[in-house]
Amino acid sequence: MNKNLHAIYVGLFFLVGVSITVLLAVDGFKYYNLPIEQRFFSSQHTILKPSGFIGHGLGIFGTLMMIFGVAIYMIRKRTPKLLNFGYLKYWLEFHIFLCTLGPILVLYHTAFKFGGLVSVSFWSMVAVVLSGVVGRFIYLQIPRTIQGQEVNINELSEISDDLTYKLKKQYNVDDSIINQIENIFSSNKYSAKSAGYNFLIVIKEYFGLKVNLAKLKKQISSKGTKGKQLKEIIKIIKSKIILNRRIGMLRSMQKLFRYWHIIHLPFAITMLVIMLVHVAVTIILGYKWIF
């Protein structure tokens, strides 16, 4: 999958997710905005209530999306025979799509009214989604091959050296700028920090990277480099800065990712078990939708 096709792939997920969310919000706004005791008298009550045609259907599809999203990603990740069956990052993006839209559908299924044991499942689901966002951010900080395998420090150092060589030999970037990059964005400044502190640094520098690149761009352009060549140089410098940071933070982020699994998994299991109990009870009581 080339870059443009991948952009369409991700963009389609975003478009579908936003469109469905907005459509449900607009269509049911009057109903969901009513006090609980007044909803019974609404003309939309029979279809939007949790046991209604649309409400019940949203719960079914949302649940299936979450189960399928988790199952298909775990199978792809843990089955060696499927190693070449699509890159892992694409499966992860599909997993994120299903496990983001699924909870949204479940939220509309509840008609924004939940209590008792089901509320435990719902808030566990919220915790899973929010921790998933954090986990995705941490995951991106750990360099991987296109197949999703982690890259070790030696391999990363070789890539960083290759970028430096390219800047010097191919684009004739001054040693003073190279040294500036190596000193300010040295991997050593991250290696002695704790995992939590490094996580905060990543967030801070994520927003500060553009400012630093703008300064470097100004320095390089002042020496006569312009146009396409300048863009290529800045692109390589950006890659090197990010790579240096990831080299320094590699062990910290790996540790943080392990901690994240410890937090994420119990919420996911709690959500799944209670959700299955809820589905079983619903079927036993005769709420079978259109089946």
Could you tell me the two tokens for 117? 């044991």
- Separation CA 171–CA 180 (nearest Å): 16
Which range, of 4-18, 115-129, 180-194, 256-270, averages the lowest pLDDT? 180-194
Coil, strand or helix: which one is 150?
strand
Contact between residue 224 and residue 283 where contact means Cβ atoms under 8 Å apart: no
Q: Given this model, what pLDDT does residue 114 score?
A: 74
Q: pLDDT by residue (tens digit) across 206-216? A: 677 777 788 88
Could you tell me the two tokens for 194? 């704790």
- Separation CA 185–CA 154 (nearest Å): 18
Nearest to 248 by CA among 212, 202, 213, 179: 202
The structural domains of the chain, with segments of one domain joined by +, span 3-149+257-284, 153-249
The residue-averaged pLDDT of 114-134 equals: 79
Q: Given this model, what pLDDT does residue 177 score?
A: 81
Q: pLDDT by residue (tens digit) across 200-243? A: 776 776 677 777 788 888 888 887 777 888 888 888 888 888 78
Mean of pLDDT over the chain: 81
Q: Given this model, what pLDDT does residue 193 score?
A: 62
Q: What percent of the chain has pLDDT over 70?
A: 87
Q: Per DSSP, what are the bridge partners of residue 144?
A: 150
Instruction: Give the orientation angle of helix 153-165 with respect to helix 227-284, to 10 degrees.
Output: 150
Model confidence pTM above 0.85: no
Alpha-carbon distance values, 253 to 51, 105, 185, 274 (Å): 44, 32, 17, 32
